[in-house]
């Protein structure tokens, strides 16, 4: 038997790969082989550690020393000093802002950054996502065991309802209530679908959850299946996430081998099977009825609702559709109880929220924090301030379908209620932070182009609306707009919001409406003065004299 005395984990998220993580990984293998230590030291990979600078990160257990950034040329020193001689190399320990060298060690990790609270991402970046043993070691499958052996399905649902968990896919519907709808619909065949078709620009939390902790989704789906009376589950993963697909496929296989999934789980008599399913590139498939159509092998076009999937879903059967982050909360809720979960976050929005931070800040990446912190805190504490000392102009929250928050509203607490009252959407948790160099016309144009491309074409208000809005905004950015365009855009937006078939059309004009609400003067400057105040738009009308005469 091999006795592993030490373990080296190399981060292999995209940012790390970009900075040579693969070479570092192989260099560790070679160096360890060179020193004849292959039998004693394991080298493995971890996915995202939640930060995207100073990567790759290398964690050496059992000392939990965190080295970053590690280059190939550093590997020899780390192996020789740390793994052979047993001396941690202080000069190479991470200087990463906020990420303390203890991060990987503390069992009760508060997170990689101050006041982070991790429930969903508790294990991501700590365990090897390809190892079911790692998952079990970190409380994995305890929730499932408790549910199957000590609780009735109705008690599981009651616990989820007690937790106050609201869906984390964007709409924020109470999860427990959705479960009880599916549970109370009669039928022998029901389905559980994990919606991992995360295509909202700026949102990559679900990717990090699946890639970092795939077993939690398997456990949660099985608990959900037990609670609502389903025996089949699908994980619909967007086609652009091949790593996540492979991780899930592997995790399903391992869980089946260990009897945590499949027939007669834990000898409880309950059987549950999960099928991974890759999408093929369509934003609209994140909408639950479009996702179901796509799963059935058709164009991913939303169905008219009602009937809702809870009564008429996949293949016409009652179907529970939950987002990845929603499901990732479930094992901890069952393990620790709904009351425990309620203590995190704000009274009406319980638990934590995973945010992705990007744009013009010093520090981009992912954080998980209790509900209710403010944008200013996000930018100052986690974003480490604005890049190059520029001024904050606006934040787009919740991805392309989300709202735009001007700098003067950055102290609004981020929870479902406060945001709703301020007319802001929390959505998928994407926070795109934009500085003063951002032109709102250009930004709106890019966002509208996205919706023009992604509209499924089924309903007219969305199909024509997204195209017209993009055309008008494009004209304005080229100095060809007229002042009546603003009214026309408002009219189209209103029609789209009210009569579009699904959320895509209803929310496509959100950012545009906010631009017109908070930055109307800047839009008007493009139209009346033919000037882009920030100097981004390709306006030529005001500088014709500079162009050579043909």
Least Cβ distance, residue 516 to another protein (angstroms) = 17
Residue ranges in 35-174 assigned as alpha helix (H)? 72-77, 132-137, 142-150, 153-163
Site for another protein, residues 423 to 462, rule: CB under 8 A? 430, 432, 434, 438, 442-443, 446-447, 449-450, 453-454, 456
CA 313, 314, 320, 324 dihedral sign is negative
According to DSSP, residue 225 is labeled H
Asked whether position 231 contacts another protein by CB under 8 A, the answer is no
Nearest to 396 by CA among 238, 237, 507: 507
Give 350 or 400: the residue with its C-beta nearer to another protein: 400
Residue of 366, 426, 476, 512 that binds another protein (CB under 8 A): 366
Give 16 or 349: the residue with its C-beta nearer to another protein: 16
Least Cβ distance, residue 347 to another protein (angstroms) = 32
Site for another protein, residues 72 to 131, rule: CB under 8 A? none
Residue of 5, 97, 298, 491 that binds another protein (CB under 8 A): 298
Give 163 or 364: the residue with its C-beta nearer to another protein: 364
Site for another protein, residues 179 to 218, rule: CB under 8 A? 198-204, 207
Calpha distance 247→278 (Å, rounded): 12
Residue of 323, 329, 396, 466 that binds another protein (CB under 8 A): 396
Calpha distance 301→287 (Å, rounded): 9
How many residues sit close enough to another protein to count as binding (CB under 8 A)? 56
Asked whether position 379 contacts another protein by CB under 8 A, the answer is no
Give 89 or 467: the residue with its C-beta nearer to another protein: 467
Least Cβ distance, residue 374 to another protein (angstroms) = 21
Asked whether position 52 contacts another protein by CB under 8 A, the answer is yes
Residue of 66, 282, 291, 386 that binds another protein (CB under 8 A): 282
Asked whether position 279 contacts another protein by CB under 8 A, the answer is yes
Give 240 or 256: the residue with its C-beta nearer to another protein: 240
Calpha distance 397→399 (Å, rounded): 6
Least Cβ distance, residue 191 to another protein (angstroms) = 11
Give 69 or 345: the residue with its C-beta nearer to another protein: 69
**Per CB under 8 A, which region of 110-118, 165-173, 235-243, 417-425 contacts another protein?**
235-243
Site for another protein, residues 10 to 29, rule: CB under 8 A? 14-15, 17-18
Q: Copy the structure tokens of residue 200.
A: 């909202």
Give 124 or 148: the residue with its C-beta nearer to another protein: 124
* DSSP-derived 3-state class of residue 515: helix
Calpha distance 63→7 (Å, rounded): 9
Residue of 323, 400, 403, 510 that binds another protein (CB under 8 A): 400
Give 101 or 279: the residue with its C-beta nearer to another protein: 279
Is the CB of residue 204 less than 8 Å from the CB of residue 358?
Answer: no
**Torsion-angle region of residue 158: left (phi > 0), alpha (psi -120 to 50) or beta?**
alpha
Is the CB of residue 377 less than 8 Å from the CB of residue 424?
Answer: no
Least Cβ distance, residue 286 to another protein (angstroms) = 11
Site for another protein, residues 334 to 363, rule: CB under 8 A? 356-360
Asked whether position 500 contacts another protein by CB under 8 A, the answer is no
How open is the CA angle 153-158-161, to the nearest 5 degrees? Answer: 130
Residue of 170, 365, 461, 481 that binds another protein (CB under 8 A): 365
- In DSSP terms, which residues pair with 11 in a beta bridge? 46
H/E segment holding residue 433 = strand 430-435
Peptide bond into 260 cis (omega under 30): no
Least Cβ distance, residue 30 to another protein (angstroms) = 23
Q: CB under 8 Å, gap of 24 or more: what pairs does 34-38 form?
A: 35/79, 35/80, 35/83, 35/84, 37/79, 37/83, 37/84
What are the strands of the beta sheet with 352-359, ordered from one edge?
Answer: 365-370, 352-359, 430-435, 392-397, 403-406
**Per CB under 8 A, which region of 35-43, 296-304, 478-486, 492-500 contacts another protein?**
296-304
Give 263 or 453: the residue with its C-beta nearer to another protein: 453
Give 146 or 277: the residue with its C-beta nearer to another protein: 277
Q: What DSSP assignment string belongs to 246-297?
A: HHHHHHHHHHHHTTSSBSSGGGSS--BEEEEEE--S-GGGGSHHHHHHHHTT
Residue of 4, 280, 541, 543 that binds another protein (CB under 8 A): 280
Asked whether position 488 contacts another protein by CB under 8 A, the answer is no
Calpha distance 57→15 (Å, rounded): 10
Least Cβ distance, residue 187 to another protein (angstroms) = 18
Nearest to 519 by CA among 422, 380, 409, 418: 409
What are the strands of the beta sheet with 191-196, ordered from one edge?
Answer: 273-278, 232-237, 191-196, 319-323
Q: Which residues contact another protein by CB under 8 A?
A: 14-15, 17-18, 52, 198-204, 207, 234, 238-242, 277-283, 294-300, 356-360, 364-366, 396, 400, 430, 432, 434, 438, 442-443, 446-447, 449-450, 453-454, 456
């Amino acid at each position: 038997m091999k006795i592993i005395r030490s373990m080296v984990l190399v981060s292999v998220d995209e940012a790390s790969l970009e900075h040579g993580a693969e070479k570092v990984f192989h260099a560790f293998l070679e160096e360890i082989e060179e020193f004849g230590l292959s039998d004693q030291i394991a080298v493995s990979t971890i996915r995202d550690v939640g930060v995207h600078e100073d990567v790759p990160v290398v964690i050496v257990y059992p000392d939990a020393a965190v080295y970053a950034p590690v280059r190939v040329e550093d590997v020899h020193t780390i192996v020789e000093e740390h793994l052979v001689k047993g001396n941690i190399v202080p000069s190479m320990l991470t200087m990463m802002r906020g990420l303390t060298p203890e991060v990987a060690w503390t069992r009760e990790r508060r997170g990689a950054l101050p006041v982070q609270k991790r429930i969903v991402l508790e294990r991501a970046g700590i365990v090897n996502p390809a190892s079911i043993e790692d998952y079990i070691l970190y409380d994995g499958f305890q929730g499932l065991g408790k549910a199957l052996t000590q609780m009735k399905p109705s008690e599981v649902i009651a616990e989820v309802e007690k937790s106050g968990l609201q869906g984390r896919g964007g709409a924020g519907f109470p999860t427990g209530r959705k479960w009880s709808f599916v549970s109370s619909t009669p039928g022998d065949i029901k389905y559980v679908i994990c919606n991992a078709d995360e295509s909202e620009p700026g949102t990559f939390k679900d990717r990090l959850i699946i890639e970092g902790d795939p077993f939690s989704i398997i456990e949660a789906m099985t608990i959900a299946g037990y609670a609502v009376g389903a025996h089949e589950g699908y994980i619909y993963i967007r086609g652009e996430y091949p790593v996540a697909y492979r991780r899930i496929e592997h995790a399903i296989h391992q869980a089946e081998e260990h009897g945590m999934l499949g027939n007669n789980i834990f000898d409880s008599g309950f059987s549950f099977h999960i099928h991974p399913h890759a999408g093929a590139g369509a934003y609209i498939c994140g909408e639950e009825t479009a996702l179901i159509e796509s799963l059935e092998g058709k164009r991913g076009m939303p169905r008219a609702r009602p009937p809702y999937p809870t009564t008429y879903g996949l293949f016409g059967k009652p179907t529970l559709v939950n987002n990845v982050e929603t499901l990732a909360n479930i094992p901890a809720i069952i393990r620790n109880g709904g009351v425990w979960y309620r203590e995190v976050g704000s009274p009406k929005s319980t638990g934590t929220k995973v945010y992705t931070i990007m744009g013009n800040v010093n520090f981009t990446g992912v954080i998980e924090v209790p509900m209710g912190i403010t944008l200013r805190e996000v930018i100052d504490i986690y974003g480490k301030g604005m890049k190059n000392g520029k001024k904050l102009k606006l934040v787009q929250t919740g991805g392309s379908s989300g709202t735009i928050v001007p700098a003067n509203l950055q102290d609004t607490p981020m929870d479902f209620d406060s945001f709703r009252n301020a007319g802001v959407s929390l959505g998928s948790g994407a926070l795109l932070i934009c500085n003063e160099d951002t032109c709102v016309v250009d930004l709106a144009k890019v966002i509208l182009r996205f919706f023009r491309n992604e509209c499924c074409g089924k309903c007219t208000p969305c199909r024509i609306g997204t195209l017209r809005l993009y055309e008008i905004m494009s004209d304005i950015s080229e100095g060809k707009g007229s002042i009546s365009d603003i009214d026309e855009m408002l009219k189209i937006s209103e029609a789209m919001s009210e009569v579009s078939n699904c959320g895509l059309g209803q929310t496509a004009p959100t950012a545009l409406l906010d631009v017109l609400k908070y930055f109307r003067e800047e839009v008007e400057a493009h139209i009346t003065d033919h000037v882009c105040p920030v100097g981004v738009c390709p306006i030529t009308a005001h500088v014709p004299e500079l162009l050579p005469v043909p």
